[in-house]
Amino acid sequence: MSNMTELILPYDVETVRADFPILHEPHHDNVPLIYLDNAASSQKPLKVIEALDNYYRRYNANVHRGIHKLSEEATEAYESARIKIRKFINAGSKREIIYTKGTTEGINLVAQTWARANLQNGDVIVSTVMEHHSNIVPWQMLAMEKGVTVRYVPLLDDGTLDMEAYRKLLSEEHVKLVAVAHMSNVLGTIHPIAEMARLAHEHGALILVDGAQSVPHMPVDVQALDVDFFTFSGHKMLGPTGIGILYGRRDLLEEMPPWMGGGDMISRVTLEGSTWAELPHKFEAGTPNIAQAIGLGYAVDYLTELGMDKIHEHEKIMIEYALERLSEVPGVTVYGPEGVHKGAVAAFTVAGIHAHDVAQILDMEGIAVRAGHHCAMPLHNELHVNATARASFYLYNTPAEVDALIEGLYKAQKAFKI
Ligand code: PLP
């Protein structure tokens, strides 16, 4: 693949782009927006924006409380979104779908409930050096409190996980939990989760998967992967901010104590004590993010209608093209696996220009990329770089936008006289 005109995309991207109002807004006065910061957060289709508007205009009310029509309508929309999400990731029951604020909250929920109740001094949690801080810090906090140890699977030179080291950790340590991302938000590495889950289970450990970067971009089946917990964020998959999902195996969720206490998560309260509501409400204290959950349901509709296989295929073509074009630019180093399939994320450095300057010059061209450590400081330490620029693609990006990125990098080099 060397020429943009040879690329055959699985759907008409212009039709998709027409659904995203922000892509047609003037940016920096006149330049069109080229949004390549999708790993941080995605843009929203009109359907999702309208779903929020519609809720607030037409049936805004609290859920699970009122007997009045508005509350019933809101509850129906809120709960039907849960059913859509169950189907989207093929969970066995809607009771296994817990609404959270996002991936971070899902991980903290498991740390503060299952892990706090089940782990003790001497137990080991296995994570990896590639994790987002949200899959490191909650375990470190728990480790300080409970005397458990967090061990990290290292990287191989090719940007994949050292599976030998993983096997060794499982066989030599008292591992109770494996906490791993499905896909790295920096390198794009996609981990062999089904295999990692099988190995964890063989050694009596559970596995929690951070699916923040996988669910938006590829078909995910939590039962086929045989994972125990799986968590992701709505805002990275066309949905609103403030909503995410924790999937948990029903038997585990039934056994786990609740995390936050308050309204809606109880069955009965007396002054002497309380009993808990049925799943999933046991883990959903207080008024939830109703509009956001409904919006996420619409985002799932959008993704399902376009087809997760097609979206994944589109992104595969995009990342291959982006990697090829980036390799043409002298002084550019891209981090992550080569020659194996990876997610549509390219983290790179440009020799002689700090990543923040690269991002700033690109921004002047209307190109939004992220620069910094991308909430993965330990990984950047392993890579021996302070910061990278990151271009991350989604279903509405085009090969022409990759070309614009490359042009932007040449401009940056020119500005820095490189
Ligand atoms: N995990 C990964 C791999 C991520 O990329 C992110 C966000 O960038 C998160 C976790 C945290 O997601 P959130 O901030 O939506 O909770």
> Is 148 part of a structural domain of the chain?
yes
pTM confidence score: 0.97
> Is 122 part of a structural domain of the chain?
yes
| DSSP H/E element including 367 | strand 367-368
Does the pLDDT at position 107 exceed 90? yes
> Is 43 part of a structural domain of the chain?
no
Q: Is pLDDT larger for residue 341 or for residue 352?
A: 352
Q: Is there a single domain that holds both residue 62 and residue 161? A: yes
**End position of a domain, from candidates 253, 281, 305:** 305
What's the 273 CA to ligand 1 centre distance in angstroms? 36
Does the pLDDT at position 47 exceed 80? yes
Q: Is there a single domain that holds both residue 57 and residue 16? A: no
Q: How many distinct structural domains can be found in the chain?
A: 2
Query: Which residues contact residue 2 at a Cβ distance below 8 angstroms, ignoring those fewer than 6 apart?
Result: 324
> Is 42 part of a structural domain of the chain?
no
Going by their DSSP bridges, the two strands 124-128 and 149-153 should be labelled as parallel
Expressed as residue numbers, the domain containing 411 is 4-32+307-415
Q: What is the mean pLDDT of the chain?
A: 96
Q: Is there a single domain that holds both residue 215 and residue 114? A: yes
> Is 339 part of a structural domain of the chain?
yes
Q: Is pLDDT larger for residue 49 or for residue 67?
A: 49
**End position of a domain, from candidates 249, 283, 305:** 305
Q: Which of 177, 375, 383, 405 is catalytic?
A: 375
- What is the torsion angle, in degrees rounded to the nearest 10, for the CA atoms of residue 154, residue 157, residue 158 and residue 161? -10
Does the pLDDT at position 109 exceed 90? yes
103 lines ligand 1 (CB under 6 A): yes
Q: What CATH number does the domain containing 404 carry? A: 3.90.1150.10
Q: Is there a single domain that holds both residue 279 and residue 354? A: no
Q: Which of 414, 318, 331, 317 is nearest to 365 (CA)?
A: 414
What's the 402 CA to ligand 1 centre distance in angstroms? 24
Q: Is there a single domain that holds both residue 54 and residue 169? A: yes
What's the 214 CA to ligand 1 centre distance in angstroms? 11
Of the pLDDT bands very low, low, confident and very high (cuts 50, 70, 90), residue 3 is low
The pair of three-digit structure tokens given for residue 333, joined into one six-digit string: 């180093």
Helices 193-202 and 163-172 pack at an angle, to 10 degrees, of 20
In the residue annotation, 375 being an active-site residue is answered as: yes
- The arithmetic mean of pLDDT across residues 364-368, rounded, is 95
Of the pLDDT bands very low, low, confident and very high (cuts 50, 70, 90), residue 27 is confident
Interval 139-176: pLDDT, tens: 999 999 999 999 999 999 999 999 999 999 999 999 99
> Is 258 part of a structural domain of the chain?
yes
Going by their DSSP bridges, the two strands 266-269 and 34-35 should be labelled as unpaired
Q: Is there a single domain that holds both residue 285 and residue 316? A: no
Ligand 1, atom nearest to 375 Cα: 8
**Comparing 8-12, 25-29, 75-79, 332-336, which segment has the lowest mean pLDDT?**
25-29
> Is 38 part of a structural domain of the chain?
no
Interval 88-106: pLDDT, tens: 999 999 999 999 999 999 9
Query: Which residues contact residue 350 at a Cβ distance below 8 angstroms, ignoring those fewer than 6 apart?
Result: 329, 331, 332, 358, 389, 409, 412, 413, 418
* Cα Rg, the chain, nearest whole Å: 22
Q: Is there a single domain that holds both residue 297 and residue 408? A: no
**Residue from 100, 134, 374 whose mutation best tests the ligand 1 pocket (most atoms within 8 A of CB):** 134
> What is the reported pLDDT for 1?
47
**Residue from 38, 107, 185 whose mutation best tests the ligand 1 pocket (most atoms within 8 A of CB):** 185
189 lines ligand 1 (CB under 6 A): no
Interval 287-318: pLDDT, tens: 999 999 999 999 999 999 999 999 999 999 99
Q: Is there a single domain that holds both residue 190 and residue 268? A: yes
Ramachandran bin of 119, using left for φ above 0, alpha for ψ from -120 to 50, beta for the remaining angles: beta
Of the pLDDT bands very low, low, confident and very high (cuts 50, 70, 90), residue 338 is confident
131 lines ligand 1 (CB under 6 A): no
pLDDT cut 70: percent of the chain above it: 99
Q: Is there a single domain that holds both residue 296 and residue 311? A: no
Q: What CATH number does the domain containing 227 carry? A: 3.40.640.10
- The arithmetic mean of pLDDT across residues 14-43, rounded, is 93
**End position of a domain, from candidates 305, 321, 340:** 305
Q: Is there a single domain that holds both residue 289 and residue 319? A: no
> What is the reported pLDDT for 5?
63
Q: Is there a single domain that holds both residue 327 and residue 258? A: no
> Is 39 part of a structural domain of the chain?
no
Q: Is there a single domain that holds both residue 83 and residue 189? A: yes
